[in-house]
A and B are shown apart, each in its own frame.
Chain A
Amino acid sequence: MQPGDTVRYEAISHSEFINLGGDDTPLEAQA
């Protein structure tokens, strides 16, 4: 990304998040 680019945030489900390699560890557990 660089200035001048644009970004859209797309809401996804938990299962989609996991399939994309996301880490669902709750924030407080990571602190």
Chain B
Amino acid sequence: MKPRIEVVAIDCLMVRLFEVIAEDNMPWMLAATRRLREGFGPALVDLVPSYTTLMVHYDLLALDPAQARELIAQALKELQPEPKGSGQCHVLPVWYDLSVGPELALLAQRSGLAVEEVIRRHSQHEYQVFALGFAPGFAFMGLVDELLATPRLNTPRKRVAAGSVGIAERQTAAYPVVSPGGWNLIGRTPPSCLIVSARATA
């Protein structure tokens, strides 16, 4: 791992830890998140983890950019990965059905698998939450079985029901609220289960 620091704004730096998205990144990303929070202390405005990067937004009245870079270098020095299993495991019940997940058929066709096998493969894996974004509570998870990887729809839907479960490339997610969306929908979880899951984390 050779971290690179990129300038986002006068008070914001992007720490790029990895070049490739992988589940093995997460223990390192979590360790870096913890060390950066400790290192910046009250000078940290926001820290946004993603698949391969951490965006560090700091208080320019407390630190100048050179000091911020030095704090990042110190935080990443001799970094060790967090122990696996340090996060919470959420279970989302999903009704996989063509009426609420019309792209089940598309995924089956693309992969050459039966719909039942698509469902089995999607539900047999424990996914990492890599990042939050797009909409409040929207968690980007992965990595989906390679055979199920499917690009986003060419034309996004104007309205995706709350609780809809989808796949985009090797990512999967459940829409927490009604919104537009271009992911391939394969099922639906009761929105109350997503809310309970969010409360458990809060």
Contact = CB atoms under 8 A, between A and B. Distances in A.
A31 B46 CA distance: 36
A30 B99 CA distance: 11
B201 A21 contact: no
Contacts of B182: none
Given A22-B189, A26-B100, A9 B123 contact: yes
Contacts of A8: 89-92, 123, 125-127
A10 B95 CA distance: 8
Contacts of A30: 159, 161
Contact of B99 (A2, A9, A13, A26): A26
Given A2-B132, A2-B201, A5-B129, A12 B86 contact: no
Given A8-B126, A20-B193, A24-B95, A3 B165 contact: no
Contacts of B125: 8
B172 to A, nearest CB: 8
Contacts of B127: 6-9
Interface in A10-28: 10-14, 16-17, 20-28
A1 B49 CA distance: 13
Interface in B143-169: 157-165
Q: Can you list the 10 inter-chain pairs with the closest CB atoms, starting with the nearest?
A: A17-B95, A4-B87, A22-B190, A5-B87, A20-B190, A26-B99, A12-B93, A1-B139, A5-B129, A9-B123
Given A5-B89, A5-B139, A23-B188, 8 more contacts: A4-B86, A5-B87, A11-B94, A13-B95, A14-B95, A17-B95, A24-B188, A26-B99
